[in-house]
Chains A and B, each alone.
Chain A
Amino acid sequence: MQIKINNKIYDFEKGETVLEICRRNDIYIPTLCYHEDLLSSEGVCRLCLVKTNKHRGLTASCQTKAEEYMEVITEDDDIEKARRYNLELLWADHAGKCKDCLRNENCELQDLARKFKIDVDDFVPSLNKFEKEEQLKVLKENLKNRVVDDANPSIYRDNQYCIGCRRCINACKQIQTIESFGMNYRSIETTVGTPGEVPLDCIFCGQCTLYCPTAAITEKDNLKEVEEALMDNSKMTIFQVAPSVKFTLGEEFGFDPGTLVEGKIVSALRELGADLVFDTTFSADLTIMEEAHELIQRITLKSQNHEIKMPMFTSCCPSWVLYVEKYWPQFLGNLSSCKSPQQMLGALIKTYYAEKNKINRDKIEVISVMPCTAKKYEAGREEMSQNGDQEVDWVMTTREFARLIKSKKINFEKLPDSDFDQALGIHTGAGILFGSTGGVMEAALRTAYETITCEELEKLDFKSIRGDGGIREAEITIPKSKCLLKPLTIKVAVAHEIRNAKKILEKLDRGECDYDFVEIMACPSGCLGGGGQPIPTNSKIRAMRRKGIYDRDKNLSIRKSHENEAVQEVYKNYLGEPGSELAEKLLHTKYFDRGNK
């Protein structure tokens, strides 16, 4: 089918909107409430207005389905006026606030205001009569309706920046099925908010922060605390960097998504004053050791007809853990008792590493760089401590880290590559995979396979669980071997996004679930699509990040967690073996019924 846009003919499929066709063909139409990841933009921002021969006046291109013989114009005086005036109306509440805003230089509204050269003062009666501080008060009568939510460790909300695009509502509902927010009130008081303005109490996955075009919802910024720690000479700052951050931080400095900037990250942290820089990918391998051990235990007990909760679910995703605790507490026993790599490394740094190097644990500040907002919550959980001292002191998301680097005027692009600090810095390919959905599963299978069979696994790639399908399943048959008397089939599944995890839990609830081991990541495509990652996000960007991760895995010489020499050393010299008493104490955790129902 064909449509004419600006006097040129374009093909389209039935059901496509004019906006989608234009985006596909690089015809410029500004939008704010539309996002390709989300279904149904509602046509509320009115920036995508166009003219067609089938409509009187202006019509929203995101709501207009293309028809044969339709002729569309995307640029003329009226369309320009429509865009400009509506931007001016929005900008009236945001003018003058950019300097201290977390989204400064990465804000869709700011970008559009600059592109259309929107005057700061428009639509604000006599703004220039007032002093700068007064102006903020004059700007909008309903700063009296302003709600600031600072109550949780992960996500910060300030609805003075809300433009009512509803993307956060849609993301939370469609991707995570949680529905933390709704559109509340009417008229000028219309705003996105929680019911009755209660503090946000969700799973803190931070997807809402990725889809918000302005600063209405952002990560909780902990840079003040991080900088204080860095400046405190009495403290030893030890940083750890999550696997996926190495493939995404570069986006904040002009690199393509998926570019490995690991070396520059280490250099940047050292330049900021870090005493030590460790790689969370190391403890990802450690997590695999413990988790594979736990899995084999459960499978063995089940095969001996013991009452054992199956399937076992991974537990390194704190949003997923919160989801089970709040909505499906009956399945807490199915969660692996393993802590996440962030927490395992924090625990080991403040015990093994501190003891080994005779450092007082109170003097150590462990700061992690994470793709994730929920990690801030996780670090503060009571169980993630020894004797009242948290294993991880502060968490910086990828975005915060980029802001910190920029604020110190470090020229990231020109940094040389440096290596992580040793001891707790070596990692394998398996650990790197943690950044992607399916990664934990693959890493665990590699180790579980070799542990169960006592033989080498030659084909390391479990391709059937890669990709970005919502739920991927596989049956892995482990053949007879010197350690395995008869073949063992393990049924596994991998899911990302809570909407898919929910389907698996519903199956389990109905008694129809025969998986042995399931990996769940709350964020789209796993941690590489995490709530703390660079903005913008879309499926193309996530695919590029994923490719970077899997390419790196392929190119590493060691690709099995149990072959990590540093991991082997920690067990030999300290923990003993996977599942030992000390390992249980430091590397395992427990969960609580936080049921809302």
Chain B
Amino acid sequence: MKEIKIITKDWDKIVPNNIESYRRVGGYSALHKVIRNFSPIEAIEDVKKSGLVGRGGAGFPTGKKWEIVAKNLSKEKYFICNLDESEPGTFKDRVIAEKNPHQIIEGIIIGSYAIGAKKAFIYLNGGFNIARVMLEQAIQQAYDNNLLGKSVMGAAFDLDLEIFFGAGAYICGEETALINSMEGKRGEPRNRPPFPCDCGLFGNPTVVNNGETLANIPFIFKKGADKFFAIGTRDCPGTKLFCVDGAVKRPGLYEAPIGITVEEILNNLAGGIKDGFELSFIQIGGASGRLAVSSMFGEIPSYSKNAKIPLGSGAVLVIDKFQDPKNIALSWLRFFQRESCGKCVPCREGTFRLKAILERLVNGEFDKNDREDLDKLIWVLDNTTFCALGKFSVVGLKDLIKYKIIEELNPVKKKKNAN
């Protein structure tokens, strides 16, 4: 398979905290092009043309998001890069920030220019110590080189960029919770509408973009939107960073065009299943990801609305038959129960009760009552929670039931009413 690289291109030639090494491979030429030749609206048109959609998991069209904020007449706007990366099994945004921080910064500056923001933030996971150092140095270098601060590259465009450090909460990866924590509040999600594009940080129009999404921006302007659009699929152009882990020969971080099948990820990227192991299922997208079983090897994970496997964060965890799937299921609920913000009743109480039921499943105490309660809890978490974390917490479970991977969880046959 021909190796197409957008994000990791030239990473072997770049010293992360050295802006010159980035420039030598064409770094900041995209920014130069945009500032010299594009009006903000034209820049947005190109991003729209490229077809880039968000790489955090939601898959929202990036150009459209920028356009909504750009069109807002408010004088005060914010651009935020979401580098909170807390989805289990995901290690891509952190790696980009460690290997090529300038790439993200370039994307931020172009985005801020396009939407008319004078202040940008990187929301960085508080535990990413190396990325922090890299980003701090890179930001300083950008200021020193007139890429940040007053009159960026001599143009009538000022931009300040600052890092905001998270304090340890998965839910703060959700954009409204992220904004709340930046405002000095509890990291609880907000009601939507209004969306951050209309009312975000301090009530102002705000763009929140994932780090990997922004890492694609330089390519779009360096090589052209058409070039980007030609890679990947029609619905989801471009490449994706896949974090492959589990019972594979070569776990690692891989970049491949979207359109790659489950089987190709498993075999071509990661070298196939480890010798002597048999596949049980693959979870794609992190702890909130859907499952692929061997009959689905031909499926294409993507952000398309009708994708059978949403890409999510791009995490790919390969679970073999030696693993007890009950433990995996319990680990999902332990995670979501711990990370629930605790605000709404169904998530706070529901994840707690569901975790307890799965503990009983692992301990062999699971009974008929639990099976009924399990269905109720899945329903209530899927349909009544304040934010998507409730839904996330039961995605994997639903698929375990659907594919009959755990016998005790097999769908209960509804008793027909006697007469």
Q: Which of B157-165, B244-252, B343-351 contacts A (4 or more CB under 8 A)?
A: B343-351
Q: Which of A39-47, A471-479, A519-527 contacts B (4 or more CB under 8 A)?
A: A39-47
Q: Give the residues in chain A near B352, CB-CB below 8 Å.
A: 141, 187-188
Structural contact, A89 and B343, CB atoms closer than 8 A: no
- Most chain A CB atoms below 10 A, which of B169, B373, B384: B384
Given A85-B379, A123-B353, A125-B360: A186 in contact with B384 (beta carbons within 8 A): no
Say whether B385 faces chain A, with CB atoms less than 8 Å apart. yes
Contact of A46 among B169, B339, B369, B385 (CB under 8 A): B385
Q: Which residue of B lies closest to A54 (CB)?
A: B193
Tell me which residues from 352 to 398 in chain B have a Cβ below 8 Å from any Cβ of chain A.
352-353, 356-357, 360, 365, 367, 369-370, 373, 376-377, 379-380, 383-386
Q: Which residue of A lies closest to B390 (CB)?
A: A46
Say whether B227 faces chain A, with CB atoms less than 8 Å apart. no
Q: Give the residues in chain A near B385, CB-CB below 8 Å.
A: 46
Q: Give the residues in chain B near A568, CB-CB below 8 Å.
A: none
Against B, the Cβ 8 Å flags (1 = close, 0 = not) of A153-170 are 000000000011000000
Q: Give the residues in chain A near B339, CB-CB below 8 Å.
A: 187
Say whether A49 faces chain B, with CB atoms less than 8 Å apart. yes
Contact of B384 among A49, A92, A122, A164 (CB under 8 A): A49
Given A89-B353, A125-B360: A185 in contact with B342 (beta carbons within 8 A): yes
Given A43-B191, A92-B353: A187 in contact with B376 (beta carbons within 8 A): no
Contact of B341 among A58, A63, A82, A186 (CB under 8 A): A186
- Most chain B CB atoms below 10 A, which of A42, A49, A186: A186
Interface size, chain A (Cβ < 8 Å): 33
Q: Give the residues in chain A near B338, CB-CB below 8 Å.
A: 187
Q: Give the residues in chain A near B125, CB-CB below 8 Å.
A: none
Structural contact, A44 and B344, CB atoms closer than 8 A: yes
- Most chain A CB atoms below 10 A, which of B340, B342, B357, B383: B342
Against B, the Cβ 8 Å flags (1 = close, 0 = not) of A119-140 are 0001101100000000000000
Distance between Cα atoms of A81 and B373 in the complex (Å): 13
Say whether B337 faces chain A, with CB atoms less than 8 Å apart. yes
Structural contact, B383 and A57, CB atoms closer than 8 A: yes
Q: Which residue of B lies closest to A128 (CB)?
A: B369
Say whether A360 faces chain B, with CB atoms less than 8 Å apart. no
Min Cβ gap A15→B in Å is 14
Q: Which residue of B lies closest to A140 (CB)?
A: B352
Distance between Cα atoms of A78 and B376 in the complex (Å): 12
Say whether B186 faces chain A, with CB atoms less than 8 Å apart. yes
How many residue pairs between the two chains, A and B, have CB atoms under 8 Å in the bound complex?
Answer: 101
Q: Give the residues in chain B near A86, CB-CB below 8 Å.
A: 345-346, 380, 384
Structural contact, B343 and A125, CB atoms closer than 8 A: no
Contact of A163 among B169, B345, B351, B369 (CB under 8 A): B345
Structural contact, A46 and B191, CB atoms closer than 8 A: no
Min Cβ gap A212→B in Å is 16
Contact of B343 among A42, A88, A92 (CB under 8 A): A42
Tell me which residues from 417 to 432 in chain A have a Cβ below 8 Å from any Cβ of chain B.
none
Against B, the Cβ 8 Å flags (1 = close, 0 = not) of A241-285 are 000000000000000000000000000000000000000000000
Contact of A187 among B345, B348, B356, B383 (CB under 8 A): B348
30 A-B pairs with C-beta separation under 8 A = A42-B343, A43-B191, A43-B344, A44-B344, A44-B345, A46-B345, A46-B346, A46-B385, A46-B386, A78-B383, A82-B383, A82-B384, A85-B376, A86-B345, A86-B380, A89-B349, A89-B350, A90-B345, A90-B349, A122-B373, A123-B349, A123-B353, A125-B360, A163-B345, A164-B342, A164-B345, A186-B342, A187-B338, A187-B341, A188-B337
A residues apposed to B, CB below 8 Å: 42-46, 49, 57-58, 60, 63, 78, 81-82, 85-86, 88-90, 92, 122-123, 125-126, 141, 163-164, 183, 185-190
Task: List the 8 closest A-B pairs by CB distance, nearest first.
Answer: A190-B342, A89-B349, A85-B380, A188-B352, A82-B384, A63-B191, A44-B344, A46-B384
Known A186-B186, A187-B338, A188-B348; further 18 A-B contacts with Cβ < 8 A = A43-B191, A43-B386, A44-B345, A44-B386, A45-B344, A58-B384, A81-B383, A85-B346, A89-B353, A123-B349, A123-B377, A125-B356, A125-B369, A125-B370, A183-B343, A185-B342, A186-B341, A187-B348
